[in-house]
Amino acid sequence: MQHSEPGVTVAEQQYLPTIDVMKAIHLTMVKIRCFEERAVELFMAQELPGFLHSYLGQEAVAAGACACLREDDYITSTHRGHGHIIAKGLRLDRMMAELFAKTTGYCKGKGGSMHITDFSRGVLGANGVVAAGVPIATGAALSAKMRKSGQVVVCFFGDGASNQGAFYEAANLGAVWSLPVIYVCENNLYAVSTHQSRHQKVKDISTRAVAFGFPGISVDGNDPITVYQAVAPAVHRARQGGGPTLVECKTYRWLGHYVGDPASYRPSEEVAEWKAKDPVPRYERFLEEQGVMSAAEMVSVHEQVKKEIDAAVEFARRSPSPQPEDALQDVEP
Amino acid sequence: MKQLFYKEAVRDALREEMLRDERVFLIGLDIGRFGGTYKATQGLWEEFGGERVRDTPLSEAAIAGAAVGAAMTGLRPVAEIMYNDFLTIAMDQVANQAAKLRYMSGGQATIPVVFRTQEGAGRSSAAQHAQSLEAWVAHIPGLKVALPSTPYDAKGLLKTAIRDDTPVVFFEHKLLYNTKGEVPEEEYLIPFGQAKVCREGTGVTIVALSRMVSRALEAAETLAAEGVSVEVVDPRTVVPLDIDTILESVKKTGQLIVTHEGYTRCGIGAEIATQVMEKGLYYLEKPVRRVCGLNVPVPFAPVLENRVIPSTPALIQAVKEMVQ
């Protein structure tokens, strides 16, 4: 990454993250990495019911994209959403408690991994129906525009979702009404077990933006600064009334679709190739080279995060389980 | 009191709620400049403008989903699904999103959205434009379901729906839009879960939905002349369902017919009959009878359509068979 080199265009330079933002991005990525690693461990030890769709490997997308947002901006998340919500500032302990199905979880144990959300922090749900968050994000953008609040919405979805009818309908609506929404596609090359080359003709999903009439860009999703530099101008454009952008972030998930999926549909050389581009150590090398953080500082961050996660697990284990009759609450206001 | 068309009662409800609360807005196909396919929104675009009466692209999933997103972030949208047959395209947003996001988030989300749609047969619209699908959404916890049968009910129920913080699916009927009825000048609301006894009787109870209410009343009139006293009950809302009023009636008459245009199989009649069986079995002198849409797609030819959709003569026949 070359921020201080000559030849960087004015547009890029406008959207350089500050040192503080770069450090915050690092902290976010370490939190996501460690949280997800621990969640996988706990799941394999059968302490967590249900399913887990791990965000391991995709940390740079959530961290880079959410670093562009105000606290009152919105996001919509997905079944593979732990990374998004950590990046939006949700607490690890209440997230962990939700995974453990405890009443202290964000959703009182009624949602689980796929649905962890905090509406008070602008997370408009994490959806288990692929692409269902796209119309919702578009509606939240409509609301922001009608209320003149200046808020924007970042909508996360994957390559699989980019084939859903709801995606087209919503993006088209976002376009024709110039809504303040940024559609961030995390292309991890697989929709469950189906490689992208078998589920769509295009390689760059960003090209579909032409069909709607707004800009699209494809970037290296494993570099959080690149993601930031693509999402920040899109956020700015949206806030100024310029309408949507489609930002496709090329990335890869370490694990199968769900934890426990051996993912034998992926060639081992491909997995190895992507793991060699691990976004976390890659970003840490960059931070050290650029003099943003020292190795010692980064180690300290890892230690702090580990403590926080240990505490989160303790909190979750100690928290009460819901009573059976709690199942009848929260259907209606 | 004034005489209003049902479509005007709908429009007046929308207008009053939009004047009362600036967060209320309309979204749907052709509801603005065109005034709606059945003219239920006529004049609203001219009065409120394109910001609050929004014509959309042809995208039910986006219409419904945008309404959900807007409802979750401070507004109170009324989304129109032009024909309830197209609920299929919006169904994920209605049944998996609007109905469930509050629960799945442990009570965090409030989603005050109304999905207005219309149902019903009787003008040769054929199978994809003539269904009555309230059973689909009544099945889903987290949704309220209303079916007004008169202009009075349409206005009062729609105002309640808009003020309700729960998602509501509101089924108007295409052949009721041009029926007239009395509507008060002053403001009124009709609570959900309150059935109406449209006609008192002692011999047989007919519980009727939507346009079947008027057919049931016609049948009751004819039967009265022949000495059979029919009580007609209109639940008005299927969720919540006022089973107590229905039970009170069945307790009196001992004989129950349930009638709706929706298909017989797994229709609302099945739910009502079962609840009466569960809570009032010993009131019944005879089995409950359903006079509902036949289990076939609705045909185009009038003679065929009239065969599959329950008619006034069919109701009269059913009552006579029951009282024999």
The pLDDT confidence band at residue A11, using thresholds 50, 70 and 90, is low
Predicted local confidence at residue A2, as pLDDT: 37
Of residues A14 and B79, the one with the higher pLDDT is B79
- Which residue reads 């729609």 in tokens? B158
Does domain B196-323 fall into CATH 3.90.950.10?
no
Fill in the amino acid letter for A256. Answer: G
Provide mean pLDDT across the span A139-149. Answer: 98
B2-183: CATH number: 3.40.50.970
Q: Which domain holds residue A267?
A: 28-316
A120: CATH: 3.40.50.970
The pLDDT confidence band at residue A248, using thresholds 50, 70 and 90, is very high
Instruction: Check pLDDT > 70 for residue A10.
Output: no
Predicted local confidence at residue A15, as pLDDT: 87
Q: How many helices (H) and strands (E) does chain A have?
A: 13, 8
The whole-angstrom separation of Cα A155 and Cα B196 is: 45
Tell me which of B60, B119, B172, B231 is the catalytic residue. B60
Averaged confidence pLDDT in chain A? 95
The whole-angstrom separation of Cα B104 and Cα B102 is: 6
Predicted local confidence at residue A293, as pLDDT: 98
In this complex, do A106 and B66 lie within 8 Å of one another by their Cβ atoms? no
Give yes or no: B139 in active site: no
The pLDDT confidence band at residue A14, using thresholds 50, 70 and 90, is confident
**Residue A22 falls within a domain, yes or no?**
no
**Residue A21 falls within a domain, yes or no?**
no
Which two tokens mark A220? Answer: 């290296």
Number of domains, chain A: 1
Asked if B117 and B87 count as a contact pair (C-beta separation under 8 A), the reply is yes
Q: Is B188 on the interface with A (CB under 8 A)?
A: no
In this complex, do A135 and B72 lie within 8 Å of one another by their Cβ atoms? no
Residues forming beta bridges with residue B172, ordered by sequence position: B118
The pLDDT confidence band at residue A189, using thresholds 50, 70 and 90, is very high
Q: Where are the beta strands (DSSP E) in chain A?
A: 74-78, 123-127, 153-158, 181-187, 190-191, 194-195, 216-220, 245-250
**Residue A11 falls within a domain, yes or no?**
no
Q: Is B161 on the interface with A (CB under 8 A)?
A: no
Q: Is A110 on the interface with B (CB under 8 A)?
A: yes
Residues belonging to chain A:
333
Q: Is B84 on the interface with A (CB under 8 A)?
A: no
Write the ipTM: 0.95
Instruction: Check pLDDT > 70 for residue A7.
Output: no
All structural domains of chain B with their residue ranges? 2-183, 196-323
**Residue A13 falls within a domain, yes or no?**
no
The whole-angstrom separation of Cα B61 and Cα B88 is: 9
The pLDDT confidence band at residue A5, using thresholds 50, 70 and 90, is very low
> Which of B104, B140, B145 to mutate: most A Cβ within 10 Å?
B104
Of residues A16 and B213, the one with the higher pLDDT is B213
Same fold for the pair B2-183 and B196-323: yes
CB pairs under 8 A between A and B: 148
Q: Is B165 on the interface with A (CB under 8 A)?
A: yes
The whole-angstrom separation of Cα B150 and Cα B209 is: 11
Buried b (16+ CB within 10 A) or exposed e, A46-62: eebeebbbbbbbbbbbb
The pLDDT confidence band at residue A186, using thresholds 50, 70 and 90, is very high
> Which of B93, B105, B140 to mutate: most A Cβ within 10 Å?
B105
In this complex, do A136 and B65 lie within 8 Å of one another by their Cβ atoms? yes
In this complex, do A110 and B104 lie within 8 Å of one another by their Cβ atoms? yes
Q: Where are the beta strands (DSSP E) in chain B?
A: 2-5, 24-28, 53-55, 76-81, 114-119, 144-146, 168-173, 180-183, 196-199, 204-208, 230-234, 237-239, 256-263, 289-293
The pLDDT confidence band at residue A12, using thresholds 50, 70 and 90, is low
Q: Are strands B237-239 and A245-250 parallel, antiparallel or unpaired?
A: unpaired
Buried b (16+ CB within 10 A) or exposed e, B250-288: beebbbbbbbbbbbbeebbbbbbbeebeeebeebbeeeb
- 3-class secondary structure, B25: strand
For chain B, residues with pLDDT lower than 70 are none
The whole-angstrom separation of Cα B258 and Cα B266 is: 13
The pLDDT confidence band at residue A266, using thresholds 50, 70 and 90, is very high
Tell me which of B8, B17, B119, B129 is the catalytic residue. B129
Backbone angles phi, psi at B23, to 5 degrees: -80, -15
In this complex, do A105 and B93 lie within 8 Å of one another by their Cβ atoms? no
Which two tokens mark B224? Answer: 């009265």
Q: Which of residues 4-63 of A touch B (CB under 8 A)?
A: none
Q: Name the residue facing B70 among A117, A119, A140 (closest C-beta).
A: A140
Q: Is B240 on the interface with A (CB under 8 A)?
A: no
pLDDT digits (tens, 9 = 90+) for A200-246: 999 999 999 999 999 999 999 999 999 999 999 999 999 999 999 99
